[in-house]
Amino acid sequence: MSDMKLAVMGASGRMGGALIRAISETPNAILVAAIDREGTPSIGQDSGILSGIGENQILISSDLEAELDACDGVIDFTVPQASVALSQKVASHNCIQVIGTTGCSAEEDAEIAAACANATIVKSGNMSLGINLLAVLVEQAAAALKGLRL
């Protein structure tokens, strides 16, 4: 199996740091880019140092276009507007996008869905194991109680 080359959007944030740490611990996953918005104070800093894993020589950049061709996938925990813009860019770069951004409007969800025609995009409003387990349990409880009068 070849290594999957990944970029993290929002790399300076709390989730970005957690993703960088997770990638560093995952076999066959390699961080190739750490991206954040223009003007972020961490631009140019080592993403490994910022995330607490030690120097990894992947500097935080704001130049997404320069990094996309080197990526197999982009993990995106940013803001709705950035996720929509990114979905349109990954479609033209043959890249996979995983979106964990919350708060998207129906219009923004529709724009991301439209980008899926030309790209592989996975979007979940919550990546938490606990929340996803709770959602499954609620569905099972609702199915079991369907038709019962309480």
pLDDT of residue 60: 96
Ordered DSSP codes for 15-47: HHHHHHHHHHTSTTEEEEEEE--TT-TTTTSBH
What is the enclosing helix (H) or strand (E) of 38?
Answer: none
CA-nearest of 142, 15, 2 to 83 is 15
Tens-digit pLDDT profile for residues 1-58: 688 899 999 999 988 999 999 999 998 899 999 999 999 999 999 999 999 999 999 9
Tens-digit pLDDT profile for residues 57-106: 999 999 888 888 888 899 998 889 999 998 888 888 878 899 988 888 89
Give yes or no for a contact between 42 and 60, defined as CB atoms under 8 angstroms apart.
Answer: yes
How far, in Å, CA of 5 to CA of 95, rounded?
A: 10
**CATH code for the part of the protein at 4-145:** 3.40.50.720
